[in-house]
């Protein structure tokens, strides 16, 4: 199995090489090659569908416990349903006319896509708003009661991710904010990130090891660690 830092390492290397390599050695496809490698690693190391669904349902339970039974989540293949891209699909559940059955079916390539679809539905079909706690938090009072959720069009709704990754955070937040967080606060942030469709948060843990690998690859032999 690849190192847990592989994807981050390749992304950092890709950006650094554009500055480190002499111009004649640069090739117009170098970025495509590294991005393609990153996507391969991402697909290979992705958690099993059952684990992703469990994680997504846990977010739903924390966000809207009264409606946990109203939604069904599924992980789908991007090649079969999304043309090889990441997407989420929202449909009326086929059993929605049965008492006690789920009302809305949300499918996605990953749990992040599924939760982005949940947020999309709550925002555009239920008039809800989900933000950080200090800027309003989860405003869900407009969500109809269980059994009365708005139905979407019969064909369903398919939304594709326009780019492979949605990046989040900056280089200084880790020291002036994150350093003081407990797990409860981190869980809120991770839930918020998933609901916003963020799948590339900045992570500094182990960054020195990644820097070391990068400089070794580009032959900075005299660099001292």
One digit per residue, the tens of pLDDT, for the chain of length 225 reads 444 444 444 444 444 444 444 444 444 556 667 777 777 887 788 899 999 999 999 999 999 999 999 999 999 988 788 888 899 999 999 998 888 899 999 999 999 999 999 999 999 999 999 998 888 899 999 999 999 999 999 999 999 998 888 889 887 777 788 888 899 999 999 999 999 999 988 877 777 788 888 888 877 665 555
The per-residue pLDDT for 180 is 87
The per-residue pLDDT for 123 is 97
Distance CA 12, CA 91 (A): 38
Q: How many CB atoms lie within 10 A of CB 39?
A: 14
Non-local (6+) Cβ contacts of 95 within 8 A are: 101, 102
What sign does the dihedral 147-150-155-159 (CA atoms) show?
negative
The per-residue pLDDT for 142 is 97
The per-residue pLDDT for 8 is 47
Q: Count the alpha carbons within 13 Å of 149 in the hemisphere toward its beta carbon.
A: 31
The per-residue pLDDT for 175 is 74
List the domain boundaries for the chain.
Answer: 6-46+203-217, 49-201
> Of 151, 146, 144, 108, whose CA–CA distance to 128 is shortest?
144
Contact 114, 195 (CB under 8 A): no
The per-residue pLDDT for 204 is 75
| 3-state secondary structure (DSSP) of residue 80 | helix
For the domain with range 49-201, which CATH number is right: 3.40.50.300, 1.10.3300.10, 3.30.379.10, 3.90.1150.10?
A: 3.30.379.10
Q: What tokens appear for 137 in the block? A: 């938090």
């Amino acid at each position: 199995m690849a190192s847990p830092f592989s994807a981050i390492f390749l992304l950092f290397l890709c950006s650094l090489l554009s500055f480190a390599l002499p111009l004649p050695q640069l090739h117009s496809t170098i970025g495509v090659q590294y991005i393609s490698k990153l996507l391969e690693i991402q697909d290979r190391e992705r958690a099993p569908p059952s684990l992703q669904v469990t994680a997504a349902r846990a977010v739903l339970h924390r966000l809207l416990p009264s409606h946990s039974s109203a939604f069904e989540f599924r992980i789908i293949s991007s090649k079969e349903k999304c043309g090889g891209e990441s997407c989420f699909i929202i449909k009326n559940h086929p059993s929605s006319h049965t008492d006690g059955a789920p009302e809305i079916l949300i499918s996605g390539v990953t749990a992040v896509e599924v939760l982005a679809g949940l947020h999309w539905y709550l925002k555009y079909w239920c008039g809800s708003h989900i933000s950080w706690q200090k800027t309003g938090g989860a405003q869900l009072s407009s969500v109809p009661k269980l059994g009365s959720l708005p139905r979407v069009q019969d064909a369903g709704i398919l939304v594709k991710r326009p780019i492979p990754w949605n990046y989040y955070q900056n280089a200084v937040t880790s020291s002036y904010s994150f350093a003081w967080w407990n797990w409860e606060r981190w869980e809120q942030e991770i839930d918020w990130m998933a609901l916003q469709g963020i799948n590339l948060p900045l992570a500094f843990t182990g960054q020195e090891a990644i820097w070391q690998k990068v400089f070794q690859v580009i032959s900075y032999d005299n660099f001292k660690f």
